[in-house]
Structure 1
Amino acid sequence: MTLRHLRIFFAVCEEHSMTKAAARLYLAQPSVSLAIREMEEHYGVKLFDRVSRRLDLTEAGKQCYAYTTHILTLVDEMEQGIRRFDSHRLHIGCSLTIGTCLLPAIVSQFKEQHPQTEISAQIENSERILSMVSDNALDFALVEAIPNDPQLRKEQFLTDTLIPVCAPFHPLSREANVTAEQFASFPVIMREKGSGTRELFDSVMLMHNLVVNPLWVSTNTQAILSAVSAGIGVSVLPRLLAEDAIAKGEIVEISTRDLSFSRAFYLVYHKNRYLSSTAEAFLSLCRNACTVALCAQN
C-alpha cells in the first residue's frame, strides 16, 4: 500500500464521493475507483457502503480512516519539519586562513539575510577539511587547496597572495630583490604539512630546485607571526593574515626577485551531496565578487 492509495482513500472519505475526490485530487475518476478497489482487495474487506450516490465508511473503513489520518498527519509533519530543518542549518568547513580572514564577514552578512539559520563551522587545515567533505560530513567547504578526490566538485571564488616576511631588524628586511636561495638560507617558520599554505610554499620552492625543512612548524598562524617578529626566522604567509602585523610594524614584507606565491580559494562539495536552498544561498554569497571584495577589506 502506498501513500498515493492513502491520500486517495482519505479524499474519498472526506468527500463521500469518488467523483468529488477525483476533482479534488485532479485525477481521473477511474484512477480513484481503481485505488479504492486495490485497497479493498489488499486488505480483503469492504471499506465503503455504497448507498445511492453517497459512500459511507464500513466499520473496517472507519478503522482504516483513523490509521490513514494518523499516517498522513505524521507524513505532513515530517515534510514540514525536515524542510524547516533544511532551511535553518548549515555545517561548513574552512581552512585556517579563510576561517580567520573571510568566514566571519561572510557569515555576518549571510545572517543579516537569513537570521534564523544556524551555522556551525569546522576550521582545520585544508587536508583535514577535504577529508571531511569526502566523508560527506560537511555541507561544503571553503579551502585554498585543490581537491584530488574525483568525488569532490570545486569552484574558484577568490584569488589570494602569499608574501615572504621577516622581522623589521632581520638582514633580509634591508635587501632588495631577494632570491629564493637567499630566502631559504635562513631558518624558515611554516605551517604544517596538509595546509594549503604549506602545499603552495613547498611547490614554489621545488620550482627553484629547493627543498626547505622548516626550523619551526605550527598550525597556529599567530604563533608563526610572533616567532617571525622575534627574529627567529622568516616565513611565507597569506597577505590577508599578515597585513595587520605589517601595518603595526611587527613584521615586514621581503622584497623578492623570483619568489611569487599566488593561489585560489575554492568552494568544495561532494558531488552526491544534496545542497539545500540555504546552502545554495550561502554559496551564491561567496561567489559574489562585491561580497568577496568587502570581506577582504574587513
Structure 2
Amino acid sequence: MTLRHLKIFVAVCDCGGVTRAARRLYLAQPAVSLAIHELEQYYGVPLFERLSRRLYITPEGERLLSLARQITALFGEAERTVHGDGLGRVHIGSSVTIGTCLMPGYVRAFEERYPGTRVQVTIENSGTLEERLLQNGIDFALIEGVVHTPQIEAEPFLDDELTLVCPPGHPFALRGRATLQELGNERWLLRERGSGTRELFDSALLTKGLRLEPMWESINTRSIVNAVRTGLGVSVLPAALLRQDFARGTLVRVPIEGLDLRRKFQLLRHRSKTLSGAAQAFIALVRELGAAPMDDFR
C-alpha cells in the first residue's frame, strides 16, 4: 500500500466513481480500478459495494477515507514546508459573523507575522463548516454555532450576543423592550437554517415553548438588515455586526424580556486531525487577539 493508492482512493470517493476519478488524476480507468482492488486485497475488506454499476462506500471504506484524507493532506503540507514555503498554508472555515467582523483582522495580523504562508478562508454557515471538517476539507473552523458530532472538538474563544433589531419607528423601538408574547405578531426576517445565529434563536425560543415561521430567510445578513430598515419586519442578528447601524440610528436594538441570547464563538477542529505548523500558529493568534481586530460591518 502506497501514498498513490490512498490518493486514488480519495479521488474515487470524491468523484463518486472510477471513471471521473481517472479523468481527474489523468490516469487510465483500469489503473484506478487496479489500485482500488489492491487496496482491498491489502486490507482484506471490501471498500466499496458494487451495485448496478455504481460504487457505494462501505463502513470500512469510510474509516479508511477519514485517515487517507489526513495522510494525503499531511504529505502535501510536508512538501510545501520542505520546499521553503514559509509555514506552508492553512485553510480556515469561518461562519458569516466571524468572517465579517474578525477574520479580516486575523488574516492581516497573521500575514504580517508569517509573510511566506498562504491563508485560504472559506465562509459558510456553521452546519456546512462542520461537514467540511468531517471531510478534511478545511484545517479548522471558527463558528458561532454548536457542535453536533463527537468527532469534532470545540474551544470557546470569545463571547457574543444576539439582539432583536427593528427600525426606529417600530413600537418595540419606541418602548425600548419586547415581550415573548409579542413575538408571534411580528413579521420575521431571519438567517437560514443551519446558521449559528438561526440555531441559537430557534433553540432559545423552544425553551420557552415558542416557534416562529419567518417570512424571509437569507444567507446574506446585509439583505436582512436592509429589509428591516425598510420596515418589512424585525430580526434577531449578532450585535457585533450592527454597531454602525446602531450608531447612525438606522436600526434599534431591543431586549426581549426573559430570553437569553448570549453565546460563545468557538474554534472547531477534528479530533483525529494533525494540524500543520501554519494552522497551529493561526490558532495561537486567535487565542491571543480575541476581539482585538473586530471591524465594523459595512
TM-score, normalising length: structure 2: 0.70
- Match status 1:286 vs 2:282: no
Equivalent residues in 2 for 1:93-172, closer than 5 Å: 93-172=93-172
Deviation at 1:260?
Answer: 2.3
Q: Distance in 2 between matches of 1:136 and 1:295?
A: 28
Count residues in correspondence: 219
Amino acid at match of 1:163: T
The whole-number CA distance in structure 1 between the counterparts of 2:283 and 2:216 is 36
| Structure 2 residue identity aligned to 1:178 | A
Structure 1 residues 176 and 252: CA distance shift in structure 2, 3 A: closer
Query: Superposed, which structure 2 residues align to 1:195-234 within 5 Å?
Result: 195-234=195-234
Q: Which residue of 2 aligns with 1:174?
A: 174
Q: Is the partner of 1:257 in helix, strand or coil?
A: coil
Please say if 1:243 is aligned against 2:243.
yes
Alignment match, 1:252: 252
State the match for 2:294 in structure 1: 296
For residue 68 of structure 1, what is the aligned residue in structure 2? none
Alignment root-mean-square deviation, CA: 1.8
Alignment partner of 1:148: what SS?
A: coil
How far, CA to CA, are the matches of 2:79 and 2:187 in structure 1? 59
Distance change >3 Å, CA 96–CA 297, structure 1 → 2: closer
Counterpart-to-counterpart distance in 2, 1:282 and 1:180: 41
Larger radius of gyration: 1
Contact 2:192–2:218 under 8 Å retained in 1:
yes
**Shift, 1:99, TM fit:** 0.5
5+ long unaligned stretches in structure 1? 1-77
Deviation at 1:80?
Answer: 6.4
Report SS of the residue matched to 1:280: helix
CA–CA distance in structure 1, aligned partners of residues 269 and 140 of structure 2? 4
Distance 2:283 2:168 in 1: 40
Task: Give distance in 2, aligned partners of 1:165 and 1:217.
Answer: 15
Please identify, of 190-199 and 251-260, the stretch whose mean Cα deviation from structure 2 is larger.
251-260
8 Å Cα contact 1:176-1:256 kept in structure 2 = no
Deviation at 1:79, TM superposition (A): 6.2
Partner of residue 44, structure 1: none
Residue 296 (structure 1) shift = 3.2
Letter in 2 for 1:210: L
Q: TM-score, normalised by structure 1?
A: 0.70
Percentage of identical aligned residues = 39
Q: Contact 1:202/1:211 (CA < 8 Å) preserved in 2?
A: yes
Q: Which residue of 2 aligns with 1:262?
A: 262
Match of 1:223, as an amino acid? S
Spell out, residue by residue over 1:62-101, the C-alpha distance to the aligned partner (whole angstroms, 9 max, x if none).
Answer: xxxxxxxxxxxxxxxx966543458221111011111111
Aligned counterparts of 2:274 and 2:113: Cα–Cα separation in 1 = 22
Alpha-carbon distance in structure 1 between the residues aligned to 2:270 and 2:78: 24
Q: Is the 8 A contact 2:86 2:115 kept in 1?
A: no
**Does the aligned pair in 1 maintain the 2:161–2:262 contact within 8 Å?**
yes
Is there any run of 5+ residues in structure 2 with no aligned partner, and where?
1-76
Per mean C-alpha deviation after superposition, the further-off stretch among 245-254 and 194-203 is 245-254
Instruction: Say which SS state the counterpart of residue 231 (structure 1) adopts.
Output: coil
**Distance apart, 1:293 and its partner CA:** 3.1
Q: Report SS of the residue matched to 1:87.
A: coil
How far apart, in 2, do the equivalents of 1:102 and 1:130 lie? 19
Q: Is the 8 A contact 1:173 1:253 kept in 2?
A: yes
AA aligned opposite 2:145: A
- Distance in 2 between the 1:191 and 1:133 partners? 22
Higher fraction of helix: 1
Which secondary structure state, in structure 2, belongs to the residue aligned with residue 91 of structure 1?
strand
AA matched with 2:181: E
Q: Which stretch of structure 1 is more off in the superposition, 191-200 or 138-147? A: 138-147
Q: Distance in 2 between matches of 1:101 and 1:158?
A: 12
Question: 3-state DSSP class of the match of 1:178?
Answer: coil
Q: 1:250: Cα distance to partner? A: 1.2
Q: Which amino acid in the other structure matches residue 249 of structure 2?
A: G
The Cα shift of 1:278 comes to: 1.6
Contact 2:188/2:216 (CA < 8 Å) preserved in 1?
Answer: yes
